[in-house]
Amino acid sequence: MGNCCSDPTNFDAEVDLYHFDLHRAVGKGAFGKVRVVEHKKSKKLYALKYIDKARCIKQKAIANIIQERRLLEEIDHPFVVNLRYAFQDDENCFFVLDLMLGGDLRFHLERLRYIPEKVVRFWTAELSSALEYLHKQRIIHRDLKPDNILLDAMGHAHITDFNVAIHYSERRMHTSVAGSMAYMAPEVIGRLGYTWSCDWWSLGVVAWELLFHRRPFDGRSAEKMKHSILKDTVRFPSNAKDKCSKEGQQFIVGLLDRNAKTRLGCRKELEIDDIRHHPWMATIDWDTLENKEAQPPFVPDMKKANFDVSHELDEFLMVEKPLTHSKRKQNPDLEKMKPELRQLEEQFTVYDYSKNRRISYYPHNQPLTNGLHQDESEGSEIIQSTTNTLIPTSTMVHPSRPGSPLNEDDLQQYLHTHAPIPSLSGHSQDDDGSQSRNRSSESTR
């Protein structure tokens, strides 16, 4: 919904919300929403994730927002939901991301009675490629799960939500507990010290869940789930051989190795070759796959909305304040600002992928701290819980249940198939296009 009486948009100026037309809401999180936007000049579609500053300050989440913004600037990969623009106005911080119109894997997991093995293998291969890239960038995602894997319109899988992602250190293992409990590696949940290898465990849990519609480790309480992850023997369902080949089962068991040094994808001398040369991946042409030229075996139905359409109802019912284009206050006095707002002004900087070269903030992007003195070996890292409430390192972080921050650039027909709602102009309240309240255990639908 552009401003019909406004001055023409100045595309030579720094990017801001006026550069985009706002379309429908497609996801919701703790601090705001995700909606489809169209760049007025290029006509490309993106996902706009916006974060209410006031809500973010109230939940002491500023450090995480800035860290996510910085990490996203470092990343550019075909199987990641990449950042294209970042900016802010007086009320919100904005991430403009690749648009994934195929929905998240949680959405499809809940609607499909059965996901064929060849589909799970294809997604696992694409996700393996993305994880290899992230780890080379010295980034641990820490929250890989079906909710944070989005499909584009063709059916390619992409990792999203870098809200608890961090750079890993060569000097010391991380011990803070972050992510969604059911997908945490034993070394994370047991505070044994971990690095990038924990993401491969999470991939194993995801592949298992997609194949068998349940998870390998569960429990009715946080304590029981923790015990299951640390101690329980991996047992396949009785009908496993009907749903997954022996090679597939071996692959998943390899990922669910409690010893991170011998885990599939983590053995020092092999690493990614361990994945690529595994018999389960024998049919994958990796060059074709990584050029995004391989035909996905599952293609989302684009005639339907692959997300929860209820996100728009709040705006229809006027429960929420719509997102609108608004001019910023000119020359704000940083000295008079709240410290948190000043930090956002100074550190949540403008990014425009068409003008800015991607840079690495490592090692300066080490976890931002809470200012309390702690033992150096522990680090004073603050972890974002999946509820978007900051939780100190000693506290267990539980689940997030995202809506779908979507994405795909060249689907102009989407606007014809899913016409924007005329009276709709938005809202503000998300941080990662997802989330729910904190619980003592991860109860996933």
Q: Are residues 52 and 191 in the same domain?
A: no
Q: Minimal CA–CA distance to 262: which of 270, 248, 297? A: 270
Domain presence at residue 32: yes
pLDDT per position as a tens digit, 80-131? 999 999 999 988 999 999 999 999 999 999 999 899 999 999 999 999 999 9
CATH code of the domain covering residue 130: 1.10.510.10
Annotated binding site for ATP: 49
Dihedrals φ, ψ of 211, to 5°? -75, -40
- Cα–Cα distance between 183 and 197 in angstroms, integer? 13
Q: In this predicted model, what pLDDT tens digit does every residue of 375-413 receive, in sequence order?
A: 333 333 334 333 332 222 222 343 333 333 333 333 444
Identify whether 341 is part of a domain. yes
Residue 143 sits in the same domain as residue 60:
no
425 found inside a domain: no
Q: Rounded to an integer, what distance in angstroms lies between the CA atom of residue 127 and that of residue 210?
A: 13
Block residue for tokens 């603050």: 382
Residue scoring higher pLDDT (369 or 235): 235
Statement to judge: residues 143 and 228 lie in one domain:
yes
Residues 127 and 225 in one domain: yes
The answer to whether residue 392 is domain-embedded is no
Question: Is 10 part of any domain?
Answer: no
Domain of 60?
A: 17-101+306-380+404-417
Asked whether residue 437 is assigned to any structural domain, the reply reads no
Whether the pLDDT of residue 200 is over 70: the answer is yes
pLDDT computed for residue 81 by the predictor = 96
255 in the same domain as 128: yes
Q: What is the mean pLDDT of residues 263-281?
A: 91
Tell me the residue type at 191.
Answer: R
From 265, 290, 315, the end of a domain falls on 290
Beta strands in 55-148 (DSSP E): 83-88, 92-97, 139-140
Question: What is the predicted pLDDT for the residue at 271?
Answer: 81
Residue-wise pLDDT for 204-238, tens only, equals 999 999 999 999 998 889 999 999 999 999 999 99
Q: Are residues 214 and 149 in the same domain?
A: yes
CA distance 168 to 20: 35
Angle of CA points 314, 317, 319, to nearest 5°: 55
Q: How far is CA 168 from CA 98, 204, 255, 345, 352, in A?
A: 25, 21, 20, 27, 26
Angle, alpha carbons 59-62-202 (nearest 5°): 85
Annotated binding-site members: 49
**Residue 345 or 412, more confident:** 345
pLDDT at 85: 96
Higher pLDDT, 361 or 184: 184
My answer on whether 197 and 173 are in the same domain is yes
Q: Please indicate whether residue 143 is annotated as part of the active site.
A: yes
| Residue 288 pLDDT exceeds 60 | yes
Window from 81-85, 283-287, 329-333, 387-391 with minimum mean pLDDT: 387-391
Same domain membership, residue 208 and residue 127:
yes
Catalytic residue among 52, 89, 104, 143: 143
Question: Do 91 and 109 sit in the same domain of this protein?
Answer: no
Tell me: do 129 and 91 sit in the same domain: no
Residue 74: inside a domain, yes or no? yes
In a domain, 22, yes or no: yes
Q: Provide the pLDDT confidence category of residue 70 given band limits of 50, 70 and 90.
A: very high
Whether 368 and 236 share a structural domain: no
Q: Is the pLDDT reported for residue 258 higher than 80?
A: yes
Angstrom CA distances, 50 to 14, 25, 345, stand at: 18, 11, 15
Q: Check which CATH number belongs to the domain holding 24 and give it.
A: 3.30.200.20
366 — pLDDT class (breaks 50, 70, 90): low
Residue type, 438: N
pLDDT of residue 28 exceeding 60, the answer is yes
pLDDT tens readout for residues 414-441 = 444 444 332 222 222 223 333 332 333 3
- Residue 87 and residue 198 in one domain: no
With CA atoms as reference, report the closest residue to 131 among 275, 1, 243, 232. 275
Q: How many domains does the chain have?
A: 2
Confidence of residue 26 (pLDDT cuts 50, 70, 90): confident
pLDDT, position 334? 67
Higher-pLDDT residue of 334 and 22 is 22
The pLDDT value recorded for residue 399 is 35
Cα angle 408, 409, 411 (rounded to 5 degrees) comes to 80
